[in-house]
């Protein structure tokens, strides 16, 4: 079985969309999507520096656009499993047939702007916790009044909340764990983002959805969602709810996934998959970063589809 994954914020790199402009129609697509997103995606993906594309309002629609540009170059079977990490779920929802590209780009623009605005209300942040016993790590995070905002598996949990609480947590970390402050604008996937969730819900009222045509996993609990309206509701709730990527990977393993294609900018999710789903039965992985990677991705897809016939 094939899995196609769409990465989230933090995976972007300066100039990563440049090679995709060699494909016919890419420039026109980005121009159209820029109008919907309210940011210049062409500039952000080709000329902007790391600081500019770190801005949440810019990064989120840029990542969704990148995933969609690459996914359009692939012929996926109906049996493919689709999943995205955080804002990557908007791209995944398009690949799975729930949202149109235009709707996803529009929602990504709103989501990014509103989350950036929510970050400005009160100083908050996030810290990665590497190692330690997962249950103990979560208990310690919650003891400090923080939220385990990302449970990424492979020994990685992200704590989020107020800056003073994060400082106290770093001063008294869980046993055998290392705490690293992340350079992010605020506490994503926590109640601090409530204003952004409200704004996204209002915008989503005008969005038309379809039921998934492929298996679509949700960050909320790692389960496959079969109803488009339910998935849209989960996408809205995800703004304040923790990302359970660990549960998504568990579902990928349970489904017997043998091949993974990570959409651009690829590498982050592939690394988590390699560390979590290792040993016998580990899936073959293709990181799709430039059009030069398309032949390898297409070959993997064709081989898996051939085995399923």
Q: Which residues are catalytic?
A: 86, 189
Question: How many CA atoms within 13 Å lie on the side-chain side of 100?
Answer: 9
Ramachandran area for residue 125 (φ above 0: left; ψ -120 to 50: alpha; else beta)? beta
- At 181, is the secondary structure helix, strand, or coil? strand
- Token pair of 57 as six digits: 């309002």
SS3 content of the chain, % helix, strand, coil (to 5): 50, 15, 35
The Cα–Cα gap between 217 and 1 comes to 14
* Helix, strand counts (H, E) of the chain: 12, 9
- Phi–psi pair at 162, nearest 5 degrees: -70, 150
The Cα–Cα gap between 89 and 234 comes to 10
Q: In terms of C-beta density within 10 A (0-12 exposed, 13-18 middle, 19 or more buried), how is residue 126 classed?
A: buried
The Cα–Cα gap between 72 and 74 comes to 6
């Amino acid at each position: 079985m094939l899995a196609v994954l769409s990465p989230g914020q933090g995976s972007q790199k300066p100039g990563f969309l440049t090679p995709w402009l060699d494909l016919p129609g890419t420039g026109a697509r980005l121009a159209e999507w820029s109008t919907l997103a309210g940011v210049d995606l062409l500039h952000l993906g080709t000329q902007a520096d790391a600081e500019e594309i770190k801005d949440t309002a810019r990064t989120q629609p840029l990542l969704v656009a990148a995933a969609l540009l690459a996914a359009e170059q692939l012929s996926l079977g109906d049996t493919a499993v689709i999943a995205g990490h955080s804002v990557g779920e908007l791209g995944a929802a398009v690949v799975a047939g729930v949202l149109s590209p235009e709707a996803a780009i529009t929602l990504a623009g709103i989501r990014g702007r509103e989350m950036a605005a929510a970050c400005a209300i009160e100083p908050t942040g996030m810290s990665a916790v590497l190692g330690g016993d997962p249950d103990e790590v979560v208990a310690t995070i919650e003891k400090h009044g923080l939220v385990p905002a990302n449970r990424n598996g492979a020994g990685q949990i992200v704590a989020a909340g107020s800056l003073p609480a994060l400082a106290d947590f770093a001063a008294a970390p869980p046993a055998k764990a290392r705490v690293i402050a992340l350079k992010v604008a605020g506490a994503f996937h926590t109640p601090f983002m409530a204003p952004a969730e409200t704004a996204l819900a209002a915008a989503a009222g005008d969005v038309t959805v379809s039921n998934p045509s492929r298996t679509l996993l949700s960050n909320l609990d790692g389960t496959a969602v079969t109803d488009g309206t339910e998935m849209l509701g989960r996408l809205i709730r995800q703004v304040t709810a923790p990302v359970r990527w660990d549960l998504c990977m568990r579902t990928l393993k349970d489904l017997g996934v043998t091949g993974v294609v990570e959409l651009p900018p690829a590498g982050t999710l592939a690394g988590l998959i390699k560390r979590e789903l290792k040993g016998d039965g580990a899936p073959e992985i293709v990181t799709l970063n430039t059009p030069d990677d398309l032949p390898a991705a297409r070959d993997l897809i064709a081989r898996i589809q051939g085995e399923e016939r």
